[in-house]
Chain A
Amino acid sequence: MQAVIELAGLSVRFGKREILRDLRADLSGRTLGLLGPNGAGKSTLIQTLLGFCPVAGGTARIFGHDIRHHLRQIRAQIGYMPENDAFIADMTAVTFVRMMGELSGLPAEAALERAHEVLFYVGLGEARYRKLGTYSLGMKQMAKLAQALVHGPRLLILDEPTNGLDPSARQRMVRLIRDIRDSGQMHILLCSHLLRDVEETCEEVLILKQGQIVHYSNLEKERSTNKRFVELETSGDEAGLAEALTGLGCACTAAGAGRYKMVLPEGFDLREIYRVAAERDLPLRRLSYRRDTLEDIFLKAMEV
């Protein structure tokens, strides 16, 4: 499978300051989350992939095209929604999105048709003849998304798409991103510092810290692996329960006060735990899968 984004020792400098250092990764998932604290280099990485920042060393490839040599081909396949305000105040939304479509290579009539369609799609259908300068922040975000979608890109780059949105507008944006992801027609690179947004929409996560990749994880795999971890709380003959479960192939660690963490073997039936507890007449106060949240993953990565 061809990598969507291939980072091959990518380095970026602003003057003497090294912003990105020797980034190496092959990313081929449908939705990729780019995480990191402020100043980690997330936006710089996006801008470098778009060809805005000069490459100091190494390179990156998008759909096999080198960012140093094939920028035009790359940009033709990318839809970019910037983090900051980006619009033309005295244009109506439909004119703005149409112009952006034409600049991406759509014929004028097709661009107009697509502009209407994407504006309806992002929920600005009724406001599409209003000037962008009169839009609220949430509407401007949606207009930015519309212009990124108008030409049907293969890779959609979203830089902090839920920035400044109220909860309902945020939910709408996340729903749209999931819908685009589920349509299966484009890959998404989502840069955000809101872990919840990334967790709700992304399959893979790349965590940056001080311009370096500190963690890469496939959230889907991580979730399925986590299903083998169980946290259990009981009272009474705790040692006997642990012994019995160890006998069934579980690795048990006592956390004190009747709490156990267990790694279950492949194909282990959870009902065995209830059976063993019932045999020993032990009340199970709590039994839950231990699931590493993205926050856990992020915090672990930050400790590196």
Chain B
Amino acid sequence: MAVYKQTYKDYEGKRTGSWSRFLILMRYSYARLFQSRFLVLFLALCFFYPIGCAALIYLSHNSPALAMLKLQANALPAIDGRFFYIFCVVQGVLALLLTTFVGPNLISPDLANGGLALYLSRPFSRTEYVAGKMTVLLVLLSLITWVPGLLLYAIQASCTGWTWVKPNLWLARAIVLGPLIWIVVLSLIALALSAWVKWRIAAGACVLGLHFVGAGFAQAINQILRTRNGSLINLSEVIHTIWGDLFDCSRSADLSVMQAWIVLGVTSVLCLSLLTRRIRGFEVIK
């Protein structure tokens, strides 16, 4: 179908494999997202704290530099579970903000413009659609959470050697697993709300509201009913409980680890069921 001929001609070339098609969505989503300067700036901002942490680790193993800055080695924080727990908390908050910005742009525009019928009328399933959109968030959030965390671990390991790595191998697992759980839950919440609320600004507000209003309600319930079960709807408290357990520090007094895992499980199931209901090639008008 040469442009100049203006006639229809069939396509007879080769076709790609179906297993990697969900990555096409990721590629196009990034192309659209990175047109925003705000996103690029915010993403750059997300690396400030990891860079600071890397500098701290380097300094704590560099006596001449410490002497030059007139600092004592014991004045710097120890590189242990608590250090990485705080790293997770800081980057976790940034991950939440990044999700608020990116998440609503993923599904709601497709729903608002009726684009789902176009995706799903192709050899492309609903699962692949959700996987493609979720990968956008997972990759982006991984870049600011567990990937730099693991790099910090590697820097510390290279500075101290096997003597530190051997008793702290569990930390590497916690550094990957802790943020990974958070970003999976965040991605599911963002996608579900983006699919539920067609207006992207409202969807962003819902993602933030779920965390901050949820925390407020949790406090109110705890205070009024003199209970601790209100914390079950405080996602920050829930994830801090799990991180505390993984990094072996600061456990929550309100929730048990088991309760926290159950809350995350239920949240994920609810998000998946909402996605199942909303991601369809057609809308049933009742």
Residues on A close to B: CB < 8 A? 14, 47, 50-53, 72-73, 75-76, 78, 80, 82, 84-91, 95, 99-100, 102-107, 110, 114, 116-118, 120-121, 125, 147, 149-152, 179-180, 183, 185-186
CB pair B114 A110 closer than 8 Å: no
Q: Which residues of chain B are near A89, meaning CB under 8 Å?
A: 109, 112-113
Q: Which residues of chain A are near B48, meaning CB under 8 Å?
A: none
User: Which chain B residues numbered 148 to 179 have a C-beta less than 8 Å away from chain A?
Assistant: none
CB of B18 closer than 8 Å to a CB of A: yes
Q: Which residues of chain A are near B28, meaning CB under 8 Å?
A: 91, 95, 99
- Across the interface, A185 reaches (CB within 8 A) one of B10, B21, B115, B125, namely B10
CB pair B6 A53 closer than 8 Å: no
Residues on B close to A: CB < 8 A? 1-3, 6-16, 18, 21, 24-25, 28, 31-32, 109-110, 112-115, 117-125, 280-282, 284
CB pair A120 B3 closer than 8 Å: yes
Closest to A102 in B: B24
User: Can you report 16 A-B residue pairs in the complex whose CB atoms are below 8 A from each other?
Assistant: A50-B121, A52-B280, A76-B122, A82-B118, A85-B113, A91-B28, A100-B118, A100-B122, A103-B21, A106-B13, A107-B13, A117-B9, A120-B3, A121-B7, A121-B8, A151-B11
Whole-angstrom CA separation of A87 from B111 in the bound complex: 10
Whole-angstrom CA separation of A205 from B113 in the bound complex: 31
Shortest C-beta distance, A18 to chain B (Å), equals: 14
Q: Which residues of chain B are near A186, meaning CB under 8 Å?
A: 10
- With A85-B113, A88-B110, A90-B109 as known contacts, state yes or no: A106 contacts B16, CB within 8 Å: yes
CB pair B1 A117 closer than 8 Å: yes
Q: Which residues of chain A are near B280, meaning CB under 8 Å?
A: 52
Q: Which 7 A-B pairs have the closest CB atoms?
A: A152-B11, A52-B281, A105-B15, A80-B121, A86-B114, A117-B1, A76-B123
Having A52-B120, A100-B122, A103-B25, one finds 14 other A-B pairs with CB under 8 Å, namely A14-B284, A52-B280, A72-B125, A86-B113, A89-B112, A95-B28, A100-B118, A103-B124, A105-B21, A110-B11, A121-B8, A125-B3, A149-B8, A152-B10
- Across the interface, A103 reaches (CB within 8 A) one of B7, B110, B117, B122, namely B122
Whole-angstrom CA separation of A107 from B21 in the bound complex: 10
Whole-angstrom CA separation of A104 from B118 in the bound complex: 10
Whole-angstrom CA separation of A180 from B7 in the bound complex: 8
Q: Which residues of chain B are near A87, meaning CB under 8 Å?
A: 113-115, 118
Whole-angstrom CA separation of A100 from B281 in the bound complex: 15
Q: Which residues of chain A are near B112, meaning CB under 8 Å?
A: 89
CB pair B118 A47 closer than 8 Å: no
Closest to A89 in B: B113
Q: Which residues of chain A are near B14, meaning CB under 8 Å?
A: 107, 110
CB pair A120 B18 closer than 8 Å: no
Q: Which residues of chain B are near A52, meaning CB under 8 Å?
A: 117, 120-121, 280-282
Whole-angstrom CA separation of A89 from B112 in the bound complex: 9
Closest to A133 in B: B113
- With A91-B32, A107-B13 as known contacts, state yes or no: A99 contacts B24, CB within 8 Å: yes
Whole-angstrom CA separation of A149 from B10 in the bound complex: 9
- Across the interface, A107 reaches (CB within 8 A) one of B1, B6, B16, namely B16
CB pair B11 A106 closer than 8 Å: yes
Point out which of A80, A88, A95 has the most chain B C-beta atoms below 10 A from its C-beta: A88
CB pair B9 A185 closer than 8 Å: yes
Closest to B285 in A: A14
Whole-angstrom CA separation of A51 from B120 in the bound complex: 9
Whole-angstrom CA separation of A85 from B116 in the bound complex: 11
- Across the interface, A53 reaches (CB within 8 A) one of B11, B124, B282, namely B282
Closest to A152 in B: B11
Whole-angstrom CA separation of A31 from B53 in the bound complex: 67
